[in-house]
Amino acid sequence: MEEKLKKLVHQAGHNFGGNSQAIVQIVDLILKFAVQMRATDLHIEPLEEFLRIRYRIDGHLHELHQPLPIKFAAAISARIKILAKMDTTAAFSPLDGAIKFGEIEMRVASMPSFGAESLTIRLLDSAHNLHKISDLGFTSENEKIFRKMIAATSGMIILTGPMNSGKSTTLYAALRELNTSARAIMTLEDPIEQHISGVSQVQVNEKAGLTFAAGLRAMLRMDCNCMMVGEARDAETSKIAVRAALTGHLIFTTLHAKDSCSAVFRMIEMGVEPYLLASTLKGVVAQRLVRRLCPNCKKLVAANEIESKKIGAEKIFKPVGCEKCGGTGYFGRIALHEILNVDKNISELILYSRDLEKIHSAAIEGGLKSLAVDGLEKIRAGLTTLEELQRILGDEVNL
């Protein structure tokens, strides 16, 4: 990669317009390299003296080759915007576009920066993300709870977590499980990240008036059994979704909240009446992604005193680093899960209590395992490390 890039930069010389052959080849090389390295995001950032290229792999940003001369910034930006069918003359406005690169869907976002433009490209590899529920990293106990939850004929199921926590992957796995000829399924998404044969998937278009709320209202007239709303991002969408669940639909949605119990209060804060939420909510899945230890080079070692005390094991696996994992000791990611199963007791607390700690305590008594507990189980199973768990959870959970 490094040598090829140097050669193309030299060839570009002073002719580096957006359609010049060398710039076309440089952009093509960078995009191919991002796919080859399993990157989920590509950052192209103009700095004062050079154009930095970074790749997000397994959740971490990496500079994997030399930066480009800053004079190439406008030409690189123009070439990518041409591929993404974006307005190449609008250099001072944030824009969005998409590139179909082989089997890979790429979502492009631009932002004015230092007189040039910063570009972020998200890589959506549908061919390699068609996971089954059994592939998602659930413990056997959590998988049983989740399968029972999605087997309901009506009600609401919420997935919560920050950006890049794997919520969409879990949603798609659930929809594929439910996708039979006897069931009508519709989704409302922004963007559509994976295409599922047999499911009617609708792209949100706010400019055309197709918001989450408007789309959800329309979906209620379409005689479908199951609906997925990409995000309950406002009060109107949340209220419509809950009422849809009350009228016999199975509703999936996502929400930004710290953990499963906090998601309940987030819905109430957005104006959903507690009695409606108590009647419709089937469960909440909170999740995070941690890096998975490379199976090719991980090493079993004796745990030190602190590790042994926290993990509850005398021996643990540690990252080493090899050619397969690029020397990081990690390859791929695995999800941590916390599942709030809304039983009669939890439902009554949602209805009558405004105390988050009380609901959390009742959930723990009912069998809820926190993200930290799930993470510790995965450490003992040799799937990840204590350092990864602490990096992802930070101060949210006391380890």
pLDDT in tens, 319-378: 999 999 989 999 999 999 999 999 999 999 999 988 899 999 999 999 999 999 999 999
**Token code pair at residue 223:** 């005689």
Task: List CB contacts of 177: < 8 A, sequence separation 6 or more.
Answer: 132, 133, 147, 150
**Mean pLDDT along residues 119-130:** 78
What's the confidence (pLDDT) of residue 312?
A: 92
Neighbours of 244 (CB within 10 A): 22
Identify residue 335 by its one-letter amino acid code: A
Q: What is the largest CA-CA distance in the chain?
A: 71
**Mean pLDDT along residues 168-194:** 93
Which residue in 328, 310, 334, 333 sits closest to 386, CA to CA?
310
What's the confidence (pLDDT) of residue 39?
A: 95
Which residue in 116, 120, 98 sits closest to 107, CA to CA?
98
Spatial distance between the Cα atoms of 219 and 252, rounded to a whole number of angstroms: 13
**Token code pair at residue 381:** 């199973």
Q: Is residue 167 within 8 Å of residue 159, measured between CB atoms? A: yes
185 burial (CB, 10 Å; 0-12 / 13-18 / 19+) is: buried
**Mean pLDDT along residues 281-300:** 97
pLDDT at 204 over 90: yes
pLDDT at 98 over 60: yes
What's the confidence (pLDDT) of residue 130?
A: 66
86: helix, strand or coil: coil
| Cis peptide bond upstream of 191, omega within 30 | yes
Give pLDDT tens digits for 4-30. Answer: 887 887 777 655 555 588 899 999 999
Which residue in 144, 145, 155, 131 sits closest to 225, CA to CA?
155
Spatial distance between the Cα atoms of 261 and 371, rounded to a whole number of angstroms: 12
- Residue-wise DSSP of 20-85: -HHHHHHHHHHHHHHHHTT-SEEEEEE-SSEEEEEEEETTEEE--SPPEEGGGHHHHHHHHHHHTT
331: helix, strand or coil: strand
- Residue-wise DSSP of 287-306: EEEEEEEPTTT-EEEE--HH
pLDDT at 127 over 60: no
What's the confidence (pLDDT) of residue 17?
A: 58
- Residue-wise DSSP of 225-264: SEEEES---SHHHHHHHHHHHHTT-EEEEEE--SSHHHHH
Continuous segment of H or E residues that includes residue 169: helix 167-178
Task: Say what angle helices 356-365 and 344-352 make with each other, to 10 degrees.
Answer: 170
Give pLDDT tens digits for 137-179. Answer: 999 999 999 999 999 999 999 999 998 899 999 999 999 999 9
Q: Which residue has better confidence, 394 or 97?
A: 97
Give pLDDT tens digits for 41-67. Answer: 999 999 989 999 999 999 999 999 999
What's the confidence (pLDDT) of residue 397?
A: 45
How far is residue 35 CA from its own chain's centroid?
Answer: 18
Give pLDDT tens digits for 214-265. Answer: 999 999 999 999 999 999 989 999 999 999 999 999 999 999 999 999 999 9
pLDDT at 84 over 90: yes
**Token code pair at residue 26:** 């440089």
